[in-house]
Amino acid sequence: MNWKKPAALPMRMFPNEPNEYTWEDWQEEKKRNEPVKYFICETFPNWVGYKLYALDMWWYKIKSRYWVKHHLFDLRQPKGSAYEYDWGYQEPSEQILFACLNALRGYVEGNRNGAESLQSFINEMKASDDPPIPQMECEQKILNLYLWFRDDLPKLVAELEKRQEADGKLFNPKDKDYFSQESKDTRGKAVRETFEFEQEVNRKVNEKLKELIDVREGMWT
């Protein structure tokens, strides 16, 4: 069937000049002069396309809701990570932290195929003739945050747990000097130092989370 269709025309809402021939003009003309051909070549294929699209969206909704579950955020943390977690109740403060960590991890490891791939992407932008400075800086901040949470935070948490374990060994009433003033002072000092260190770790984590919020809008692909 001989059906000539223009390669490109403006829309009536956005003409390039007054009284310009538009897609709406072409459609009205074809409907009026060749109604059967228009139905076969335009109306019916479009109808089929809409139905197939609706079916595809229905299937996507089923997969998203019951298999992939995009609407639910997984708070679990990998084994060996700073906040290893697999199940059980978590306080909202921890839920926020875990959700942010997983969003950052998902972007770098999923959307950007890992830290090395993201660094290569950043290097390519730097080497281009007209580097996109804002995007480049944003991606670098995201990578730095990811590496801090992956490499530096576990060391801080491990040190905190080591101090807490050492403090726990001081609280043993069976020790002969347990009730002495010197022992009480030692325990008090150790507990205070551990508490201060814990506060410093939390302060640093919150600082990094705030930095993550600042680059949130750049985390898209």
Token pair 């229905």 in the structure block, residue? 58
Alpha-carbon span 134 to 214, nearest angstrom: 13
**pLDDT level of residue 178 (50, 70, 90 thresholds):** low
Q: Which of 6-20, 100-114, 163-177 has the lowest mean pLDDT?
A: 163-177
The pTM is what?
A: 0.74
CB 215 within 8 A of CB 138: yes
Q: Which of 35-44, 86-95, 183-192 has the lowest mean pLDDT?
A: 183-192
Instruction: State pLDDT tens for residues 152-169.
Output: 999 999 999 999 988 887
Query: Mean pLDDT throughout 82-98?
Result: 93
**pLDDT level of residue 80 (50, 70, 90 thresholds):** confident
Backbone angles phi, psi at 118, to 5 degrees: -65, -40
Q: How far is CA 185 from the centre of its chain?
A: 47
pLDDT at position 18 is 85
Q: What average pLDDT does the structure give for the chain?
A: 90
pLDDT at position 107 is 95
Query: Mean pLDDT throughout 4-16?
Result: 87
pLDDT at position 221 is 78
Which of the pair, 186 or 166, is modelled with greater confidence? 166
Alpha helices in 130-180, H assignment, sequence order: 133-147, 153-170
pLDDT at position 196 is 95
Alpha-carbon span 40 to 53, nearest angstrom: 19
Residue 115: both structure tokens together: 């830290």
Query: Mean pLDDT throughout 63-90?
Result: 90
Instruction: State pLDDT tens for residues 18-29.
Output: 889 999 999 999
CA 149 vs CA 7, 15, 84, 92, 122: distances in Å: 52, 52, 13, 19, 19
pLDDT at position 1 is 61
CA 74 vs CA 86, 90, 107: distances in Å: 10, 12, 14
Alpha-carbon span 108 to 35, nearest angstrom: 53
